[in-house]
Amino acid sequence: MSQDRPASVKAAVWLTLALVALSGVMALLSIIFRDDLMEAWESGRPDASSLKPPAIAPVAAVMLVVVALLALVILEFFRSQHGWARWALTGNVVLMALGTCATLRIGPPALFVVLSVVGLVLQVAIVVALWHRDTSAYLRESRRAGDLPAAS
């Protein structure tokens, strides 16, 4: 395994770590600003009084634990040049992007909008870095070094 990683691989790793950190900050802020998020959800909903409001803070905490920690585990396989990890990490980042879009859909306070947009930019940058030509060459290098193909 080569210790000389291309810039695109390093970028994918650091950007993923930044996204996990941002997810942690947003989960913490969703607990701190729970009432503001509930008001944002209720505003513009004429049926808000007849519906049970969603539990935003627990969902954010569970999403952090499951999705962000999964990203960290997959990231280690990616750093070890396992090609399948790029697909898994891409899927995980897309899942996080869907969660980010769901956050924006309720019309959250301005702080959450700004952090969500930063998150979306990070997510796009991660996918670009994961599928960069240098990343592909880096992952192919491991196959030449004697890795078994995934189908074996």
Cα 129 to Cα 108: distance, rounded to the nearest angstrom: 29
Amino acid (1-letter code) at residue 10: K
Helices 83-105 and 133-144, axial angle in degrees (round to 10): 150
CA separation for the pair 26, 29 (Å, rounded): 5
Query: What pTM value is reported for the model?
Result: 0.82
Pick the more confident residue, 147 or 140. 140
Pair 129, 11: CB distance under 8 Å:
yes
- Give the tokens for residue 140: 């192919």
Contact, 107 vs 40, CB < 8 A? yes
Q: What is the pLDDT of residues 57-72, one digit of tens each?
A: 888 888 888 988 899 9
- The arithmetic mean of pLDDT across residues 40-60, rounded, is 75
pLDDT tens figures, 74-115: 999 999 999 999 999 999 999 999 988 988 887 888 999 999
The per-residue pLDDT for 135 is 92
Q: Cβ distance 115 to 25 under 8 Å?
A: yes
User: Which of 24-28, 42-46, 141-145 shows the lowest per-residue confidence on average (mean pLDDT)?
Assistant: 141-145
pLDDT of residue 18: 96
pLDDT of res. 56: 77
Tokens describing residue 106: 């309720």
Q: Where are the domains of the chain?
A: 7-144
Place of tokens 């998020």: 37
